[in-house]
Chains A and B, each alone.
Chain A
């Protein structure tokens, strides 16, 4: 689960920089690889990866929350038998 958050940050921050920062600023920072449109495409793809990572995190969170009541019921049943 923690990997989803890490990937979201690792992909999301560079993605946002490549997509939304002014191209002249990117060139000044040494990030002027390729053409402007290529950088924007790379940035958008990184943003998509970040978004999907967040969705994965939420899915895993939902799954782990749904499992907890089931485990509680098993413990209650086993304590009644004694």
Chain B
């Protein structure tokens, strides 16, 4: 299989998996730590990409990907030195979270394979794109907190569960209606700009607004690549 489609597939699946995982974390009061999110993204992306590129995309590769990525990340957790004070913060280093990560990855993998089908509708497209955009939005907020001098512990409070769910719903609605636009670049731009304006209306800076255009625009364009 060529390189581009597996790469796009892996990016979207990994981002979507991270979205579900981050939502589960805040719902169970487990810390969402920027360092671990970055490592989790790297490990899961490499797993999904290599399997999609060298083996293929389908049911068996999906099951292998869903097991390999979370298991590899669990090994990292067990062996690496903690970067967050575990007496103050609960993180997802228990074996149970391997199952949680695997289920999240399997769900988004299945969703992405649905989007790849020619007759897939706007529903699956909007769901995948909004899930892929959420960790970018969340990650940007965590990055800004760290950039402005916040501690690692402060980044874990970047978004509450309700704020994250509201953001997800807003992203989904924008992606759903933008998918009606025939030209994907116009659809991505309009959705991204509307999201940027909404963010700035709620207090984001101009730079944050520009970032929001890409936060939604990039996953949108990548998801349209899957359908081609």
Contacts and interface: CB of A to CB of B under 8 A. Distances in A.
Contacts of A56: 54-55
A41 B68 contact: no
Given A52-B55, A55-B55, A37 B80 contact: yes
B59 to A, nearest CB: 14
A8 interface: no
Interface residues of A, number: 16
Interface string A41-60: 10011011101100110010
Contacts, number: 48
Interface stretch (B17-25, B40-48, B130-138, B164-172): B40-48
A19 B79 contact: yes
A47 B75 CA distance: 10
A35 B83 CA distance: 12
B72 interface: yes
Contact of B51 (A20, A37, A47, A55): A55
Contacts of B55: 52, 55-56, 59
B97 interface: no
Interface of B: 39, 42-43, 46-47, 50-51, 54-55, 64, 68, 72-73, 75-76, 79-81, 83
Interface of A: 19-20, 36-37, 40-41, 44-45, 47-49, 51-52, 55-56, 59
15 contacts: A20-B79, A36-B80, A37-B81, A41-B43, A44-B72, A44-B75, A47-B72, A47-B75, A48-B46, A52-B50, A52-B51, A52-B54, A55-B54, A55-B55, A59-B55
